[in-house]
Structure 1
Amino acid sequence: MSSIMYAIIILFVSYYAYKRRSLTMSGAIAAFFVGIGIALGFGYKGLLILGAFFVSSSMLSKYKSITKQSMEKKTQKGSTRDWLQVMANGALAAIVGVIYFFTKESVWIMVFAILLAAANSDTWASEIGSLSKKRPLSVRTFKQADTGTSGAISILGTFAALAGSLVIAFVAMLLFPIQPWGIFLIFLFGFLGNVIDTLLGAFIQVEYKCPVCGQIVETKLKCHKTVVKIKGFTLFNNDMVNVLSGFFAVLGYLYFHW
């Protein structure tokens, strides 16, 4: 397939996602460039893996969205993804696509798959875990936390994280010449990315509190009054944590590989 055809297809899908309100306008533009980077290196196979992540995560985001309103209020982001969310989950994968285009070294196929497995694992954990009937447990305080709290885990969310990573591993196996051991590594390091995300969310991700109503949120957007930081570092918001979790998962794999 020619580069022009890839660009047309990616543009159409990005626009369609915008019209379906899965992406904001900025998110659609970011998705286009992420798709171009991935298509450049991995062709339609890379786009299919990206599609498996995007379609499943979008469907899960909209599933029982009313039930998830408390989580969306906390993050102050709904099921429509903006450019920061798109780049947090796809920018590194696009960069890896460009690297593979120039090097053709098979290790970058694994890195690409692990990045999307980590993103899928984290997304499934958040979207499905938020439906748990039991409140999650904070890994920092070992106490129950509100639904949607970064750094908190539930049994349902953990199983969802495992499933999310495993799905991407199997899709990668069907599309690329990856051995069974490689499938396990994609699954393992993809899930590890979710674990890292949880730890970073618990210990360094920023949280703010409204001094009026006591609502705890993850952005500086105003509630009833200017919010006050109560935990973490300003730079490390949810999007930054998503980037770092995938990055560290890949570093772990590269250390193991080399």
Structure 2
Amino acid sequence: MRAIIAGPAIALLCYRAYSKNSLTPAGIFAAFLTAVAHAVHPWNLPFVLLVVFFLAGTRATHVKENVKATLTMHSRGSSGGEGPRTHIQVLANSLTASILCLLHAWQLSVRKDTLLVTASPDASGAASGAGPESLCFSWRGDLLVIGIIANYACVAADTFSSELGILSTGSPRLITSWNLRKVPRGTNGGVSLTGLGAGLLGSVIVVTAAVTVLPFCTAATAGRLGGGVAAWTDPQRQLLILGLTVWGFLGSVLDSILGGLFQSSVKDVRSGKIVEGEGGVRVLVSSAAGCQHSKATTGAKAALLHGEGEDAVQKQGTNSSAVDDDAAPSLERYDAKNKHRRPSFGDERPSRVVENGWDLLDNNDVNFLMAFSMSVGAMAVASWYWGIPFRSVLPTAV
């Protein structure tokens, strides 16, 4: 992309993120580096996809923002809702695409240098004067291009599904449950028809933008720089659009499956709402050790009340100082000034419980794993369908 266009565009994106409080300061810096990685590519495609995803995703986030804030709870105890995105969230969605963009830019540079060395003087002159429009994308073309588009189709579908699906009139159903049981809004792995439809819309938006700016090889440009060896026909373009759109939709489904399995959803028992962590990180719940400590303390106090003495306290595995501190009238268990208080009901039941999922990944881990898997998977499918070796993604294989 030309620097005279990319420079002001990157500045405007960073300013908009700052003025709208869409990103944290670290998030803005990560977005700047991501935009530069996309802008160094000779095609407009990567940068356009980044801009479309950012603007469309931000717009989806702000749809009925006040309503969505009441449907979940923040880990600090306030209303939920999406705050400024962090650098981790930015990289989770765009790191894979950034790497693929840099690889493809390098691949095009190697290919152009090779053609300049091997071409005749007349051809060399024509090649050296060739503009970006001659770097066309052919039928059975570069696999990296498929991976870049697939990445943004999937993350856009996931963003739309999460941000708009929560507004569904009905309760979502857990996709990893054998009976598709109903779960609270915001549950990881919870899906609804509204969310699935929103995910499809996000994929359609990105793929439409991609095919609008993608430099398809025509009969006039096929065989020139960019690996263009065959012109695209209308049926082939339609197949590409349909395949990438469906693939983006499947990305949002995969994200739900991964989230339902490997990401724990924490529910506030009192309100029944899902608790969201700041920046997509894990939400803490009471540990098993804490529960055992609570039971031991309760048992020791009961022993004292029944007049069984210090021996009974020691048998319960609780020291006398802990009991004395707990029984001290100046240290109320549920007083906000008591730093040792536990978030629980009076009957010692925790106020937060795990609704579903294993606590192996957080939301950012799931997003990155989905984006990476779907991008590589799309390139693998294209490699199989076109009969192109997967190793062709490396510049040295050109």
What TM-score do the two structures reach when normalised by structure 1?
Answer: 0.88
Matches of 1:115 and 1:257, distance apart in 2: 14
Q: Which residue of 2 aligns with 1:245?
A: 370
Q: Percent identity?
A: 27
Of 236, 255, 258, which residue of structure 2 is paired with 1:197?
255
Where do 1:108-257 residues align within 5 Å?
108-141=144-177, 142-177=180-215, 179-208=237-266, 216-217=274-275, 219=277, 220-221=282-283, 225=343, 231-257=356-382
Alpha-carbon distance, 1:3 to partner: 3.8
User: Residue 110 of structure 1 contacts residue 182 of structure 1 at CA under 8 Å; is this kept in 2?
Assistant: no
Measure, in 1, the Cα distance between the counterparts of 2:85 and 2:72.
12
Gaps spanning 5+ residues in structure 2: where? Answer: 109-140, 217-236, 286-341, 344-349, 384-398
Report the counterpart of residue 25 of structure 2 in structure 1.
Answer: 25
Moved more, 174-183 or 220-229: 220-229
Structure 2 counterpart SS, 1:41: coil
Name the CA distance, whole Å, in 1 between partners of 2:196 and 2:272.
29
Change (3 A) 1:159 1:205: same
Moved more, 89-98 or 247-256: 247-256
- Offset of residue 28 of structure 1: 0.8
Q: Give the conservation status (yes or no) of the 8 Å contact 1:136–1:153.
A: yes
Partner of 2:128: none
Whole-angstrom CA distance in 2 between matches of 1:146 and 1:211: 11
Task: Name the SS of the counterpart of 2:41 in structure 1.
Answer: helix
The answer to whether the 8 A contact 2:268-2:353 is kept is yes
Residues 1:48 and 2:77 aligned together: no
Task: Please give the secondary structure, in 2, of the residue aligned with 1:217.
Answer: strand
2:91 corresponds to:
87
Distance 1:148 1:98, change over 3 A: same
Deviations 1:224-249 (A, max 9, x none): 74967675454511111111111121
1:197–1:245 contact (8 Å) kept in structure 2: yes
- Give 1:117 deviation, angstroms: 0.4
2:324 equivalent in structure 1: none
Aligned in 2, Cα 1:49/1:256: closer, same or farther, shift over 3 Å?
Answer: same
> Larger deviation: 246-255 or 1-10?
1-10
Could you list the per-position Cα deviations for residues 17-66 of structure 1 after superposition, in whole angstroms to 9, with x for gaps in the alignment? Answer: 11211111111111111111111225433222211111111111111111
- Of stretches 3-12 and 240-249 in structure 1, the one that deviates more from structure 2 is 3-12
For the aligned residue pairs, the C-alpha RMSD in angstroms reads 2.7
Distance 2:4 2:91 in 1: 23
How many residue pairs end up in the alignment? 258
